[in-house]
Structure 1
Amino acid sequence: MNILILGSGGRESAFAWKISQSEKCSKLFIAPGNAGTSAYGKNVNLKPTDFEGIKKFVLGNAVKMVLVGPEEPLVKGIHDYFLADEELRRIPVIGPQSEGAKLEGSKDFSKKFMMKHGIPTAAFKTFTKANLQEGFKYLESQKLPIVLKADGLAGGKGVLICTTLKEAQQELQQMLQADKFGEAGSKVIIEQFLEGIELSVFVLTDGNSYKILPEAKDYKRIGEGDTGLNTGGMGSVSPVPFADADFMRKVEERVILPTINGLKSDGIPYKGFIFIGLMNDAGNPYVIEYNVRMGDPETESVIPRIESDFVDLLLGVAEGNLDQKELIVSEKIATTIMLVAGGYPGEYLKGRGITGIDNVRHSIVFHAGTESDNGVIKSAGGRVLAITSLKDTLFDSVQTATADAGRIYYDGRYFRHDIGQDLFP
């Protein structure tokens, strides 16, 4: 079958790498893709939110499945668009309809969903410009630090952790009155700060049954030792040593089952991935957030550990028989290190020629923000390349990925040398 992946980052590179290995895939297209995805399929110059352009391409190229990488087309309703079109409705879209995508598209919606279905999460309250003064008073009654979250999609920048009351009140005012995050911040969730260790759990569901994919831990801060500004992710490790069988049993019983059953009882159809950002607080899981797609860079660690035919799993989602599919997960450990552009996560360098990719022998190189300029691979995004090593031990995985990251060069190249080291016994 012909398959179309929507997106252009490291996540989509990992999807393309894995799907291209399946005998069930005849032709693979990636829209728009990047300089690396062209090794696995054909890049198509289409934006993931250009629904009419996607329709024309899908019909013109006999595409029989669409896998949506990023959240924006899902929140904007690409799945609904397909279902509403007579010519497209039989072509499965892997990713929820817009109602289900609210789990990521609206923090207020997702928090209320969790409270309704008894899913453990931090205490919260939502405020708008109309009740800003109430928000100030609410902050006065809360323990510090405190978390402020823009309700809508804010490009990963809409979450602030405030350590003083003055800072929290100023930021709340900036978000609600000064449109710091635009329309995304028209509602702000004030949330209790959770202590513990974060991890990401990924679920694939056909709306009834589900498979728990490998979990991962990602590293958000730009600086070593988890210092500096937040980023889209500087690396990840899978599996996570502290997510043992007992903890994962709690995650399934307290979080995953109530989430799947809650969607069903609320009449929200859901076919696709659920990314559950969790805090491990003294052995108990609390949900920080939902995403309605796979994470990045976690995907680059999770996908290489899946040994089953990935297309077969996606067909299980499309056909509603995921429970009949087999998920085989490697016991090996994957470490992913992101190479980023100079200046990232602020204003960063672009268009820098990349050398040394061919020197990587023991890891997989997933392209993230790259482009091909007359055959020369150049940087085109903040996060440029993801280097993933799959080894028998955590130490070997971390050491190999770090060494291979160092074999690649471009002007302004930067990566963290400590990814995964906090997990060493």
Structure 2
Amino acid sequence: MNILILGSGGREHAFAKKLSESKKLSKLYVAPGNAGTAKIANNIDIDPLDFKAVKKATLEHKIEMVVVGPEAPLVAGVHDYFLADEELKNIPVIGPKKDGAELEGSKEFSKKFMFKHGVPTAKYESFTKNTVAEGQAFLETLKPPFVLKADGLAAGKGVLIIEDLEEAKAELADMLTNEKFGAASSKVVIEEYLDGIELSVFVLTDGKGYKILPSAKDYKRIGEGDTGLNTGGMGAISPVPFADEEFIKKVEERVVKPTVDGLQKDGIDYRGFIFIGLMNIDGDPFVIEYNVRMGDPETEVVLPRITSDLLDLFQGVATQTIEEKSYLVDARTATTVVVVSGGYPEAYEKGKEITGTENEQNSIVYHAGTVLKDNKVLTSGGRVLAVTSFGENIPDALKKSYNTISQISFDKMNYRKDIGFDLVD
């Protein structure tokens, strides 16, 4: 099969690496891709949101399946675009249509969905610029810390957790009246704070059946000990030690089944990934949020642990036969450490030459914000690389990742040296 992956980050490089292992693969294309995907696939320099350009590339390269990495094309309706086009409608797209993508595209929609279908989650209310005063009054009914979420897509940065009531009221006003997060915060969801340990569980579904993928925990803060500004993710661990068989069984019964059943009941034909952000509160799972694609950098620890043919699983999604497909997972621990540009998540420079990425004896070096120019690998984003390693336990795997990172160099590179710190005794 000829496959096209949409996206340019570490997640898409991880998809490319895993799909390239499949005997069913003929040719692999990534749009726009990065310096890492360029080594194992054919990069196509187009914007995944330019659906006409995506169509042209799909027909030109005789693409037989499209795998959508990021959320933006899904929320914008790339799957619907294919179904509505006579020349594209029979080409399967891995990723939900626009109605299903609302689970991530709108925080309010996802909270209503959870309440409707009995999925355990925090109580909430949503507000607009016309109801700022009501929102501030609602904050007074909650205990600190206060959780404010931009309703729309904000590249993972639209969530504020604030201890002080007056500061929370001011931030709410800033989000709604001054559009702190742009159009994404024209509506804001205020939630009750859930106090527990966070993790993510990923599901691949064909709309009827599903496979529960390995659990993972990522680290969002830029600083050691989970301090400083939020980022897109500084590292991840899989599996999560406390997410044992008993806990995952609770997740399946209380969250996964009601979610997949709820989508069917609501007439949403959902084919793709569901990323379930969870809080473990005294052994019980509560949903923080849904995303409609794989997480990044969680993908870089989840996919390497799947030993089954990923393309075969994707064909199961397309034909609604996923429950018949073989699904096996490596029992070892996988860890990834993200290497970022100096200054990230605030202002940073691009175009720095990277050396040492070929040192992959004990690790997999996934490219995220990189570009190939004049046969040199240069930085092109805030999160530059994700270095993944296997081990018998977390310290063992991390030691390999940090050893590999010590051989990589670019100007002002930065990374956290304590990934997994809270999971190791």
TM-based fold match above 0.5? yes
Superposition map of 1:13-162 within 5 A: 13-162=13-162
**Are the counterparts in 2 of residues 10 and 385 from structure 1 also a CA contact under 8 Å?**
yes
Q: Which of 50-59 and 65-74 deviates more? A: 50-59
Task: Measure, in 2, the Cα distance between the counterparts of 1:292 and 1:136.
Answer: 30
Task: Read off the aligned partner of 1:338 and give its amino acid letter.
Answer: V
Helix, strand or coil: the match of 1:318?
helix
Tell me the CA shift for residue 156 of structure 1. Answer: 1.1
Task: Measure, in 1, the Cα distance between the counterparts of 2:402 and 2:243.
Answer: 24
Helix, strand or coil: the match of 1:248?
helix
Task: Measure, in 1, the Cα distance between the counterparts of 2:393 and 2:151.
Answer: 40
Q: Which residue of the partner structure matches residue 269 of structure 1?
A: 269
**Are the counterparts in 2 of residues 94 and 318 from structure 1 also a CA contact under 8 Å?**
yes
Superposition map of 1:11-410 within 5 A: 11-410=11-410
Helix, strand or coil: the match of 1:80?
helix
Task: Read off the aligned partner of 1:13 and give its amino acid letter.
Answer: H
> After superposition, what is the alpha-carbon deviation per residue over 1:50-97, rounded to whole angstroms, capped at 9, x for unaligned?
100111111111100000000000000000000001110000000000
Helix, strand or coil: the match of 1:359?
coil
Q: Which of 350-359 and 322-331 deviates more? A: 350-359
Task: Measure, in 1, the Cα distance between the counterparts of 2:285 and 2:392.
Answer: 27
Task: Read off the aligned partner of 1:189 and give its amino acid letter.
Answer: V
Q: Which of 316-325 and 388-397 deviates more? A: 388-397
Task: Measure, in 2, the Cα distance between the counterparts of 1:28 and 1:375.
Answer: 21
Task: Read off the aligned partner of 1:137 and give its amino acid letter.
Answer: A
**Are the counterparts in 1 of residues 220 and 232 from structure 2 also a CA contact under 8 Å?**
yes
> What is the count of residue pairs matched by the alignment?
425
**Are the counterparts in 2 of residues 206 and 271 from structure 1 also a CA contact under 8 Å?**
yes
Task: Read off the aligned partner of 1:132 and give its amino acid letter.
Answer: V
Helix, strand or coil: the match of 1:112?
helix
**Are the counterparts in 2 of residues 398 and 421 from structure 1 also a CA contact under 8 Å?**
no
Task: Read off the aligned partner of 2:44 and give its amino acid letter.
Answer: V
Aligned-residue Cα RMSD (Å) equals 0.8
Task: Read off the aligned partner of 2:235 and give its amino acid letter.
Answer: G
Task: Measure, in 1, the Cα distance between the counterparts of 2:195 and 2:343.
Answer: 30
Task: Measure, in 2, the Cα distance between the counterparts of 1:10 and 1:174.
Answer: 33
Tell me the CA shift for residue 423 of structure 1. Answer: 1.6
Q: Which of 274-283 and 350-359 deviates more? A: 350-359
Task: Measure, in 2, the Cα distance between the counterparts of 1:360 and 1:405.
Answer: 10
> After superposition, what is the alpha-carbon deviation per residue over 1:260-318, rounded to whole angstroms, capped at 9, x for unaligned?
00000000110000000000011110100000000000000001000000000000000
Helix, strand or coil: the match of 1:149?
strand
**Are the counterparts in 2 of residues 48 and 73 from structure 1 also a CA contact under 8 Å?**
yes
Task: Measure, in 2, the Cα distance between the counterparts of 1:388 and 1:8.
Answer: 18
TM-score, normalising length from structure 1?
0.99
Check 1:165–1:421 CA distance in 2 against 1; reply closer, same or farther (3 A cut).
closer
Task: Measure, in 1, the Cα distance between the counterparts of 2:286 and 2:64.
Answer: 38
Tell me the CA shift for residue 385 of structure 1. Answer: 0.4
Helix, strand or coil: the match of 1:63?
coil
Task: Measure, in 1, the Cα distance between the counterparts of 2:323 and 2:246.
Answer: 23
> After superposition, what is the alpha-carbon deviation per residue over 1:192-245, rounded to whole angstroms, capped at 9, x for unaligned?
111111101000000000000011010011011111111000000000100011
Task: Measure, in 2, the Cα distance between the counterparts of 1:257 and 1:185.
Answer: 31
Helix, strand or coil: the match of 1:358?
coil
Tell me the CA shift for residue 395 of structure 1. Answer: 2.1
Percent of paired sites with the same residue = 60
Task: Read off the aligned partner of 2:76 and give its amino acid letter.
Answer: K
Task: Measure, in 2, the Cα distance between the counterparts of 1:92 and 1:299.
Answer: 21
Unaligned runs of 5+ in 1: none
Task: Measure, in 1, the Cα distance between the counterparts of 2:359 and 2:28.
Answer: 27
**Are the counterparts in 2 of residues 360 and 407 from structure 1 also a CA contact under 8 Å?**
no
Task: Read off the aligned partner of 1:384 and give its amino acid letter.
Answer: V
Q: Which of 134-143 and 108-117 deviates more? A: 134-143
Helix, strand or coil: the match of 2:412?
coil
**Are the counterparts in 1 of residues 216 and 302 from structure 2 also a CA contact under 8 Å?**
yes
**Are the counterparts in 1 of residues 105 and 153 from structure 2 also a CA contact under 8 Å?**
yes
Q: Which of 125-134 and 95-104 deviates more? A: 125-134
Q: Which of 353-362 and 21-30 deviates more? A: 353-362
Tell me the CA shift for residue 39 of structure 1. Answer: 1.4
Helix, strand or coil: the match of 1:290?
strand
Task: Measure, in 2, the Cα distance between the counterparts of 1:6 and 1:20.
Answer: 15
1:420 aligns with 2:420: yes
Q: Which of 78-87 and 401-410 deviates more? A: 401-410
Task: Measure, in 2, the Cα distance between the counterparts of 1:407 and 1:341.
Answer: 16
Task: Measure, in 2, the Cα distance between the counterparts of 1:372 and 1:60.
Answer: 24
Tell me the CA shift for residue 421 of structure 1. Answer: 3.0
Task: Measure, in 1, the Cα distance between the counterparts of 2:349 and 2:283.
Answer: 42
**Are the counterparts in 2 of residues 349 and 412 from structure 1 also a CA contact under 8 Å?**
no
Task: Measure, in 2, the Cα distance between the counterparts of 1:49 and 1:351.
Answer: 24
